[in-house]
Structure 1
Amino acid sequence: MYLQHFGLNQLPFNLTPDTEFFCDLPTHREALNVLLIALQSGEGFIKITGPVGAGKTLLCRKLLNDLPPPFVTAYIANPHLAPAALYQAIADELELKYSLNTEQNQLLGQINDYLLSAATLQHRIVLIIDEAQAMPLETLEALRLLTNLETEKQKLLQIVLFGQAELDQLLLKKSIRQLRQRITFSYILKPLNYAQARAYLQHRLQIAGNTHVDLLPAASVAALCFYSRGIPRLLNILTHKAMLAAYGKGLGKIGWQQVQLAAQDTDATRVRWRLLGFRPVFPWLMLLGCGIFAYFSSSSLPL
């Protein structure tokens, strides 16, 4: 692997949501601030959406790690569940004891009793659901019923939904309009622009041990940003592959040529590479295009 070649102590572009690599970019900081403010103010439903690979799961893990007492969190990673299974998953997260024969209403009662007890201890329970767009409609309605559990002063349960853009379409369904009305805070994660992508890539390289600021020249970052459309997951995939290509040739830097090879080798970017219309016999066109792209995309506007 290329770790020793580039002077790294760990892989900088793994796809796992490692909070050590969390980059405090404006879009992710704003989303985290929305979450913290909404939770501190006691809101019942909060929603964070964004395109596939925008960093929702990493933000979710960051929230789980950073929420201070008296917050107590429950996390559901796979919400494609029937209502009864959802209640069981919540009970498991809250470490409640129940039998497999427990009726759905009884389990809901146990959860309610736990939440009341937690409220007397000044604990604030937060249920965090990742990939919420996968929830069936009847399960979303069962989720809404949980927010009916409240005292005169506060909600007994706060719920944070992380999901893809399909979640917004799902919430437009008439059958769950009551849930939609209860979402008081929401935020949409946006793709990174050139300046943000450059900061993101350099941050991950620095965390991994890199001390060479010129490892990714401006043209290479511009090419990565173009092919990835500013999506962090694609940035990770393409940069990892480009580093492998540079290592294979014994290069000390990652050139735009290696980025182009990475884009050709990646299903999610191959079509975009073809649409560009460049060929290896015209390398100067690619370099010129990346330079122009870097210049215009260095503004604060997202790509």
Structure 2
Amino acid sequence: MYDSHFNFSELPFSLTPDTQFFLNQRSHKDALSTILVALKHSEGFVKVVGEVGTGKTLLSRILLAELKKDCVTAYVPNPYLSPDELKSFVAQEVGAQFDKDMASHELMSALYRRLVQVHRTGKQVVLIVDEAQAMPRDTVECLRLLTNLETEKRKLLQVVMLGQPELDKLLNRSDLRQLKQRIVFSEYLKPLDKSACRAYIRHRLNSVCSNGENIFSVSAMDLVQKASGGIPRLVNILCHKSLIAAYGRGHKQVALWHVAKAIKDTQESKARILARLLSMELWSPRGELVE
């Protein structure tokens, strides 16, 4: 692959969320700060919404690392669970003593006893739910009931929900209004603008290469931003393919042409940017890439 060609210690644009490559851009920085402040004050529910590919899973991993010392955490990567499955999962993650054949009310009692034990140690219990828009309605209601577990002064379980915009639609249901009222803080992850996208690309390259600053030309980075709409996952895909195109030609710098090649090979970005590419005469009238 191109890693040795560019002297990379590892591939810089992997699609796997990796905290090494986390860049504390304004949108993510605000969301992380809001979550941490809300949890510190035991506010109950926090919601973070972002489009597909905006970095919600990476943010949740950064959050888990931040909370590691002071909190007991439970992370739900796939929330398509029944209410009983959710209760069992949380009980297992926080170390409650329970049996899988327990009645639902007995499981809740076991979970409550464990949450009280954790509270007495001075720690908080935080449940992080990724892809929360996929959670069934009855499970969402169960989540609300779990947060009813409390002492006279504070909640014993706090919840961070991360999801796509469909999460807002789910929470707008009239039969879920009680949970919606408990969401004290909401944050929205925004796509990268031109300046942020340049910083993002350079950050990832500098993380794996001493000369990362100069591998993408400014015009190439700006074209990546335009084609991707600033969605980090698409930025990664286009940068990866652009590096392959440059490697295939033996080039040491990614230029406009290499990005155009990557765009043509990426269906999600092609429609978005095709008109602009035509105006730049990168495509021939027959739709072929001009070299």
> What TM-score, normalized to structure 1?
0.90
The within-5 A match list for 1:110-259 is 110-259=110-259
Contact persistence 2:277–2:283 (CA under 8 A): no
The within-5 A match list for 1:19-38 is 19-38=19-38
Contact persistence 2:205–2:213 (CA under 8 A): no
CA 1:212–1:84 in structure 2 vs 1: closer, same or farther (change >3 Å)? closer
Render the CA deviation track for 1:173-206: whole Å, top value 9, x for unaligned: 0011000000001100000100000000000001
Render the CA deviation track for 1:244-290: whole Å, top value 9, x for unaligned: 0100000111111111111111121122233446188x2399xxxxx
CA RMSD in angstroms comes to 1.6
Task: Give 5+ residue unaligned stretches, structure 2.
Answer: 285-291
- TM-superposed CA distance for 1:95, in Å, is 2.8
Aligned to 1:88: 88
Task: Give 5+ residue unaligned stretches, structure 1.
Answer: 286-303
Structure 1 runs of 4+ aligned residues shifted over 3 Å read 273-277
* Mapped partners of 2:66, 2:57: distance in 1: 14
Aligned to 2:282: 283
* Mapped partners of 1:197, 1:78: distance in 2: 29
Aligned to 1:71: 71
> What TM-score, normalized to structure 2?
0.94
Deviates more, 1:65-74 or 1:248-257: 65-74
- TM-superposed CA distance for 1:98, in Å, is 2.7
Deviates more, 1:84-93 or 1:163-172: 84-93
Partner letter of residue 208 of structure 1?
V
Deviates more, 1:163-172 or 1:208-217: 208-217
Partner letter of residue 283 of structure 1?
L
- TM-superposed CA distance for 1:99, in Å, is 2.5
What's the secondary structure of 2:219's corresponding residue?
Answer: helix
- TM-superposed CA distance for 1:68, in Å, is 5.0
* Mapped partners of 1:276, 1:265: distance in 2: 16
- TM-superposed CA distance for 1:91, in Å, is 1.5
What's the secondary structure of 2:5's corresponding residue?
Answer: helix
